[in-house]
Amino acid sequence: MTNRRDFLKSTGAAALGAAMPAIAFGHDKLEIHSRPIPGTGEELPMVGLGNSRIFQEGDLEATRKLIELFLSYGGSYIDTLGPSRFTVASVMQAHELQSRLFVGTYLGTVQYDAMVEELERVRKAQGKEVLDLVLTYDFNEILAEPERYVRLKEEGLIRYLGVARHKLEFHEPMMRLMDMGIVDFVQVNYSLLEPEAGETVLPMAQEKNVAILVNRAFTNGDYFDVVRDRELPEWAAEIDCESWAQFSLKFILSHPAVTCVLTETANPDHLVDNMAAGMGRLPDQSMRQKMLELVQSFV
Ligand SMILES: NC(=O)c1ccc[n+]([C@@H]2O[C@H](COP(=O)([O-])OP(=O)(O)OC[C@H]3O[C@@H](n4cnc5c(N)ncnc54)[C@H](OP(=O)(O)O)[C@@H]3O)[C@@H](O)[C@H]2O)c1
């Protein structure tokens, strides 16, 4: 298995590693914190990568660089959909990153045999023995016939099963699935601009021992339009927060139900900014309230 130094050497990226900006808070090490997956206790680093445009475009060199940078900060979870599954798999296979990356794979089919065939193609491309996490966004199918999906796990094709959506209307069926005890992971929208899940889906995930992945941390970029040209409050320094991106991510990560927040970016500087949110202090309940009120007052 390739260690970090070998990986940097084999990809000719040692220089990039050396040039990586230091994180300014004086932490012991430049690695993000992890959280346990409730069902198993397996540790998952708490800042993940979303389905980046770079992966979707199949740009292998840019994907390699982004993943290298992500790994150098202790990242592990990558969300992959459609063709991105094979771009990320290709980099994973070429650099023997199977044990370092925890990959979420979206299903594109619904019939059992087709799902098995599809997942086997992804698994072979990744070079993993078993896929980590398979996600469906087809709530009608999984609610109608959960056994078809659970069987993927029972047959040893996948380690974890999950559902993913990014709209309020799916919060109720997410909770139904958690109540039925079918899913290990739920991926849901939750942020300073879309805080609803914090009172419903997230507490239920804690109660039912389900891992939470958060999407739309930046409401697909709209959040940055809301905070643009505004000064970060001075009290943000109390939680080691140096940017508006970290302000959002630290709010999300301070909810105890959240296992990992997804951050979609094609920009290495943004990736470094986002990873820093997984280090240092997080807000307590009263600061969370202050953060929410501040951003809501901008809307
Ligand atoms: N299953 C579902 O229904 C579903 C739906 C939506 C999303 N998702 C998952 O969630 C992931 C996140 O997607 P999202 O739509 O929720 O996107 P998001 O992470 O909320 O926002 C992405 C946008 O923020 C910008 N950005 C990221 N970091 C930044 C930083 N530090 N400073 C300034 N700008 C920054 C990115 O631009 P740059 O590229 O320029 O950084 C991009 O325009 C997706 O990739 C996907 O994996 C799943």
What is the per-residue pLDDT across 1-52, written as a single tens digit (0 to 9) for each?
333 333 333 333 333 333 333 333 334 457 999 999 998 999 999 999 999 9
Q: Which atom of ligand 1 is nearest to the CA of 79?
A: 47
pTM of the model: 0.91
Which of 213, 218, 272, 274 should be mutated for ligand 1, with most atoms under 8 A from CB? 218
Q: What is the pLDDT of residue 273?
A: 98
Q: What is the pLDDT of residues 141-182, one digit of tens each?
A: 999 999 999 999 999 999 999 999 999 999 999 999 999 999
Cα(57)–Cα(53) distance, integer angstroms: 6
- Cα 269 to ligand 1 centroid, rounded to whole Å: 14
* Highest CATH level, class, for 40-225+257-279: alpha beta
- Tens-place pLDDT, residues 99-130: 999 999 999 999 999 999 999 999 999 999 99
Which residue has the least CA distance to atom 44 on ligand 1? 50
Residue with the smallest CA separation from ligand 1 atom 43 is: 221
Instruction: Please tell me the distance from the alpha carbon of residue 242 to that of residue 273, in angstroms, as a whole number.
Output: 9
Q: What is the DSSP letter of 219?
A: G
Query: Ligand 1 centroid vs 52 CA: distance in angstroms?
Result: 8
Mutate to test the pocket of ligand 1, among 52, 264, 269, 273 (most ligand atoms within 8 A of CB): 264
Residue nearest ligand 1's atom 37 by CA: 265
What string of DSSP letters covers 146-205?
Answer: HHHHHHHHHTTSEEEEEEE--SGGGHHHHHHHHHHT--SEEEEE-SSSS-GGGGTHHHHH
Question: 163: which strand partners?
Answer: 136, 186
Which residues does a 6 A CB cutoff place in the pocket of ligand 1?
50-51, 79, 137, 164-166, 187, 215-221, 224, 245, 262-267, 270, 273-274
Helix axis angle for 84-94 and 112-126, nearest 10°, is 40
Q: How far apart are CA 167 and CA 117, in angstroms?
A: 29
Interval 180-210: pLDDT, tens: 999 999 999 999 999 999 999 999 999 999 9
- Rounded to the nearest whole angstrom, what is the distance from the C-alpha of residue 217 to the centroid of ligand 1? 7
* Nearest CA, atom 21, ligand 1: 220
Percent of the chain at pLDDT above 70?
90
What are the pLDDT digits (tens) for 46-83?
999 999 999 999 999 999 999 999 999 999 999 999 99
pLDDT band for position 261 (cuts 50, 70, 90):
very high
The residues spanned by each domain of the chain are 40-225+257-279
Neighbours of 156 (CB within 10 A): 9
Question: Which residue has its alpha carbon closest to ligand 1 atom 18?
Answer: 220
Of 86 and 14, more confident? 86
The confidence score (pLDDT) of residue 287 equals 98
Q: Please report the pLDDT score of residue 28 as a whole number.
A: 44
